[in-house]
Amino acid sequence: MIVFLYILAILLTWMIGTVSFSFVNVIAYRYPKEKKILKEHFTCDSCETQLKPYETIPVLSYIFLRGKCRYCGEKIPKRDFINEIIGGLTALLVFFRFGDADEITGPFVMSSPLDIVVHFDIWKLLILLTIFVFFCILDLVFLVDFDTMEIPNRFVIVLLYVAVVALLVLPGINIIDHLIGAVCISVPMLLIMFAIPGAFGGGDMKLSAAVGLIIGWQLVIIGFFIGLLAGGIYGIVLLISKKKDRKDHFAFGPFLCTGYMIATICGMELIDAYMKLAAIIHG
């Protein structure tokens, strides 16, 4: 019985992750085009043919259809397939990482799935759902900003709704940490925007404020620097490959979203590892 619950929990979590990120991908693709999302969710974006239920199964449908629409032959973007896999893996990681966690900023410990399944409760489920919904919105911001170089205000507003829930349910972060998180990155970004026009976008600043309100000042600072490092490396690669010059801009939101997700999962461990490395270097 326990083994059955173990397998069922993993499969269900994987399915929730792939389906959620698949839907996020649909929103990201259709939002800039102002296309209907719910009504046209099960149609091909190229030929607009109504799809059969078995043709919309995340990951599996892409494999069985060999990455093409069976009606018009148009290739299905590989990004859809990759994003669905990331969704499944993200859901599993959230499930194992926070299923039995006493605090969000605590040590990185992968909980035993058997313990989570057997001793599960509604409060822990609410914590997991809050974190996973937060990650889904970050994935949406990632995709839309990458495509349009714009972070819509309504996405930030949704994050603020999540922040209200996070203030009540996320363990290990007190109200002061949440409030400091809302300003410790966003305010310096705002000042830099005034001093150096174009250094950051207004959407990046508002995104950081909402995220900081959710995960607190420690994790938002760690996530920002991860995003800054990743974005800097990406910019250098673009310059070396001559795909962009110094005057060109690229979307920074995807790197911020990635940094904030990584920080939420294992931010404190990264700081501990950095401090230990620094201690070894300095003797």
Question: In the chain, what is the straight-line distance between the N-terminal and C-terminal CA atoms, in Å?
Answer: 53
Residue 214 banded pLDDT, cuts 50, 70, 90: very high
Give the pLDDT confidence score for residue 99 in this predicted structure.
Answer: 80
Model-level pTM greater than 0.75? yes
Q: Where are the extended beta strands (E) located within 42-164?
A: none
CA distances in angstroms from 156 to 134, 190, 196, 197, 223, listed in the order given? 11, 16, 24, 22, 17
Q: Rounded mean pLDDT of 118-146?
A: 89
- Between CA 86 and CA 18 the distance in angstroms is 8
User: Do the beta carbons of residue 264 and residue 223 sit within 8 Å?
Assistant: yes
Closest CA to 185 of 141, 143, 147, 225: 225
pLDDT in tens, 73-114: 778 888 999 999 999 999 999 988 888 777 787 777 777 666
Give the pLDDT confidence score for residue 120 in this predicted structure.
Answer: 66
Closest CA to 77 of 37, 28, 36, 40: 28
- Between CA 148 and CA 115 the distance in angstroms is 43
- Between CA 204 and CA 221 the distance in angstroms is 14
Question: Average per-residue pLDDT in the chain?
Answer: 86
pLDDT(224) > 90 = yes
Q: What is the 3-state secondary structure (H, E, C) of 79-90?
A: HHHHHHHHHHHH
Q: Rounded mean pLDDT of 19-36?
A: 84
User: Do the beta carbons of residue 244 and residue 237 sit within 8 Å?
Assistant: no
∠ Cα 213 219 224 (to 5°)? 90
